[in-house]
Structure 1
């Protein structure tokens, strides 16, 4: 059994049109939501290594998560070029190559790739849109990541900023 944790980056800023997509920072809402999500996840998810897109908004989301979830700050964080994608097939290709001994993965990345990946792995549409700073935990009934598409994943948990008190 494998577990996949997905967290979409927090809300980014579009205020500077001269920035490249990967250079966009978080806006005020994103700066507020990332630590709040970290604090909320700290109560229900074990701190673990994180694989993060190199986009600035994703890296700042990780920093914010760690502010709200100090135990996460003590874990290794790996910036993964492959996670800067908007295509779920790129993510699927990356996941299929993960070593079998890795039981769980925590990824910070982008839409529509995350939403499409969840629907692909579940074998049916279960999600219209993963909101910014939204989190999902999927259970995958496989022993090896290379078997990812052989059995449908189950969305075990979800947490979105709008549901936080």
Structure 2
């Protein structure tokens, strides 16, 4: 059994209109929410073996907050440029290439692709992945190479405003 955590980046800043979308960083709320959401995972004894992120600044910053909570370094984050505004087929490809030694993977990405992807995985449907939301899936497979065809069951869904 494998476990997959799909995480939309935390709230980003729109304060600098000179920055391109790729280079937008987190705003104050995003910098507050990311460590809180990572801590919620640890409270439920969830510890990712691998952190995989889009290389867009806001996704990487979110992944770094999670990495710190899980006692990992920024260098431990697998950087996947193809996850920037990725459609579902890209998620399948990236996940299927994870090492079999990884039991729990956390993937940081963007809307609308991440919402479309989570809605393909199980019978549970999400209208829109809020910023810093975590969608957990249990993958009934021994290797990530079998991810696409494996049975997947909904595990949990959490986001910053769920508990206020």
Structure 2 residue aligned with 1:53: 54
Cα deviation for residue 70 of structure 1 reads: 5.3
Q: Distance in 1 between the 2:42 and 2:12 partners? A: 23
List structure 1 segments (4+ residues) > 6 angstroms apart after TM superposition. Answer: none
Structure 1 residue aligned with 2:9: 9
Question: Would you say the 8 A contact 1:11–1:132 is kept in 2?
Answer: yes
Structure 1 residue aligned with 2:26: 26
Q: Distance in 2 between the 1:38 and 1:94 partners? A: 22
Cα deviation for residue 101 of structure 1 reads: 4.1
Q: Distance in 1 between the 2:30 and 2:75 partners? A: 22
Cα deviation for residue 37 of structure 1 reads: 1.3
Q: 1:76/1:129 Cα in 2 relative to 1: closer, same or farther (>3 Å)?
A: same
Q: 1:99/1:63 Cα in 2 relative to 1: closer, same or farther (>3 Å)?
A: closer
Question: Would you say the 8 A contact 1:66–1:73 is kept in 2?
Answer: yes
Cα deviation for residue 58 of structure 1 reads: 0.9
Deviations 1:4-28 (A, max 9, x none): 1111100011222221111001112
Q: Distance in 1 between the 2:150 and 2:77 partners? A: 29
What TM-score, normalized to structure 2? 0.85
Computed over aligned residues only, the root mean square deviation of the Cα atoms, in angstroms, reads 2.3
SS at match of 1:153: strand
Give ranges in structure 2 of 5+ residues lacking alignment. Answer: none
Question: Would you say the 8 A contact 2:8–2:132 is kept in 1?
Answer: yes
Q: 1:142/1:49 Cα in 2 relative to 1: closer, same or farther (>3 Å)?
A: closer
Deviations 1:90-148 (A, max 9, x none): 111222333444333111111122211111122x4521111100112100112332332
Q: Distance in 1 between the 2:107 and 2:71 partners? A: 17
| Larger displacement relative to structure 2 (151-160 or 11-20) | 151-160
What TM-score, normalized to structure 1? 0.85
